[in-house]
């Protein structure tokens, strides 16, 4: 158990750095600065906890009595909530209220700190669980991802419950289980983001459509979709690497909420998914029509800002890489 916990703890620290540089390093949260900040704080807190777990399991250095450990323990739940709430439209409170438990953490005795942190964490999980259930009508769009993230949710609840019963798991046993649980949660989240790199943006749009009343009552949806088709196929607006929901909506004479609802209601997809499909569709044509062009140049010319983004989107939509797609198309010749 200890060896597995060490392996997963090390993996967690690596994943925390990787997700911070890739997932939070781009412009995916350009319109959600609080979600980006809290996501980074969450990664830092989890990496710090795992470093402390490695110190105990490998070097017998118990940092769990330190104030820094207790603060990190209390940061996890509020930061995860404040990261998720803007995406799920779940929060109606002032952000600073969630800092109260963190401020109290250094003054709590060690024996009380762990169960208190997990009790608070369990409350946050229940609150977020209700918000996720409200999106159950959208589950067909996020079937596999929902299973992966739901499993991570169950792991978190289980650890929270075990944390409330420290006498049952004394010494290193609970630390090993806790370190393993964090590592497994990272693995599941990394898998979900690998399958759907823009999953948070798509969940946000689904939540927005769920909670907002219709904004399309006075919109000619067919005309708007026809205009959208023109902007994409004639003006190649998708080739603008900086194209965002608000910018495209402005070109259509719509608000960002109207365009988001239009895409979700009439096409059954989020803006992020729609834009990736447009870019990948254009890239497919270029890969065949311009065999001498490099894969990178094709990706950049259709609006992707980096080769990794191009490969991720192409693999997500086509199930293969751009290079493999080009070879398959040329094979009959």
Nearest to 233 by CA among 168, 277, 169: 277
Tell me what pLDDT residue 35 has.
81
State the pLDDT at residue 142. 54
Q: Which two tokens stand for residue 267?
A: 């096409």
pLDDT in the model for residue 263 = 87
Q: What is the mean pLDDT of the chain?
A: 80
DSSP string for 74-106? HHHHHHHHHHHHHHHT---S-GGGGGHHHHHGG
Residue 215 is classified by DSSP as S
- 44-67 average pLDDT score: 88
Can you give the pLDDT at residue 44? 93
Q: Which of the pair, 149 or 10, is modelled with greater confidence? A: 10
The structural domains of the chain, with segments of one domain joined by +, span: 2-205, 213-330
Query: What is the distance in angstroms between the CA of the first residue and the CA of the last residue of the chain?
Result: 55
Q: How far apart are CA 199 and CA 194, in angstroms?
A: 9
Share of the chain above pLDDT 90, in %: 21
> Helix 322-330 and helix 307-318: axis angle, to 10°?
60
Q: What is the pLDDT of residues 226-235, one digit of tens each?
A: 999 999 988 9
Residues 319 and 325: their CA atoms lie apart, in Å, by 9
pLDDT band at 126 (very low <50, low <70, confident <90, very high): confident
**Segment 47-64 mean pLDDT:** 88
- Rounded distance between C-alpha atoms, residue 272 and residue 3, angstroms: 41
pLDDT at 168: 62
Segment 293-311 shows an average pLDDT of: 90
What is the arithmetic mean of pLDDT over 53-63? 87
Residue 86's φ and ψ, nearest 5 degrees, are -65, -30
Higher pLDDT, 271 or 196: 271
Identify the residue with better confidence: 217 or 144. Answer: 217
* Cβ atoms 230, 256 nearer than 8 A: no
Measured in whole angstroms, the distance separating CA 251 from the mean position of its chain's CA atoms is 28
Task: Note if the pTM is more than 0.75.
Answer: no
> What is the CA angle 160-20-121, rounded to 5?
15
Res. 240 pLDDT band, cuts 50 70 90: very high
> For residue 213, what is the DSSP state?
P
What radius of gyration, in Å, describes the C-alpha atoms of the chain? 23
Q: How far lies 228's CA from each of 220, 260, 275, in Å?
A: 12, 13, 11
Rounded to whole angstroms, how far apart are CA atoms 164 and 12?
A: 23
Question: Does position 160 have pLDDT exceeding 80, yes or no?
Answer: no
- Please state which architecture CATH assigns to domain 213-330: Orthogonal Bundle (1.10)
More confident residue, 127 or 207: 127
> Is 32 or 131 the better-scoring residue by pLDDT?
32
**pLDDT level of residue 245 (50, 70, 90 thresholds):** confident
Structure tokens given for 95: 């952000």
Q: Sign of dihedral through CA atoms 87, 91, 94, 97?
A: negative
pLDDT at 84 over 70: yes
Q: Give residue-wise pLDDT tens across range 90-102.
A: 555 566 777 888 8
Q: What is the mean pLDDT of residues 67-92?
A: 78
For residues 180-196, average pLDDT:
79
The band of 131, judged by pLDDT with boundaries at 50, 70 and 90, is low
Q: Is the pLDDT score of 124 beyond 60?
A: yes
CATH of domain 2-205: 1.20.1070
Higher-pLDDT residue of 253, 151: 253
Distance CA 278, CA 329 (A): 19
């Amino acid at each position: 158990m200890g060896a597995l916990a060490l392996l997963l703890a090390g993996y967690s620290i690596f994943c925390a750095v990787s997700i911070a540089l890739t997932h939070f390093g781009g412009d995916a949260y350009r319109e959600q600065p609080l979600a980006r900040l809290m996501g980074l704080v969450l990664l830092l807190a989890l990496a710090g906890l795992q470093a402390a777990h490695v110190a105990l399991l490998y070097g017998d250095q118990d940092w769990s009595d330190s104030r820094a450990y207790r603060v990190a323990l209390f940061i996890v739940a509020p930061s995860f909530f404040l990261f998720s709430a803007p995406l799920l439209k779940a929060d109606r409170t002032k952000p600073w209220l969630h800092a109260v438990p963190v401020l109290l953490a250094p003054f709590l005795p060690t024996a009380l700190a762990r169960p208190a942190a997990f009790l608070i964490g369990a409350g946050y999980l229940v609150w977020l669980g209700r918000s996720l259930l409200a999106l159950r009508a959208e589950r067909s769009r996020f079937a596999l991802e929902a299973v992966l993230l739901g499993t991570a949710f169950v792991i978190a609840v289980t650890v929270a419950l075990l944390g409330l019963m420290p006498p049952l798991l004394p010494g290193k046993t609970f630390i090993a289980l806790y370190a393993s649980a964090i590592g497994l949660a990272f693995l599941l989240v990394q898998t979900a983001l690998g399958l759907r790199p823009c999953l948070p943006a798509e969940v946000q749009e689904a939540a927005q459509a769920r909670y907002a009343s219709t904004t399309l009552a006075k919109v000619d949806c067919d005309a708007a979709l026809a205009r959208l088709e023109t902007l994409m196929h004639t003006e190649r607006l998708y080739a603008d690497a900086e194209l965002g929901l608000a910018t495209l909506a402005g070109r259509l004479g719509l608000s960002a909420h109207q365009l988001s609802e239009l895409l979700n209601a009439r096409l059954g997809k989020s803006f992020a998914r729609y834009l990736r499909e447009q870019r990948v569709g254009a890239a497919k044509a270029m890969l065949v029509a311009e065999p001498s062009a490099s894969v990178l140049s094709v990706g950049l010319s259709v609006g992707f800002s980096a080769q990794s983004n191009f490969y991720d989107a192409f693999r997500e939509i086509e199930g293969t890489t751009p290079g493999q797609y080009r070879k398959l198309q040329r094979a009959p010749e």
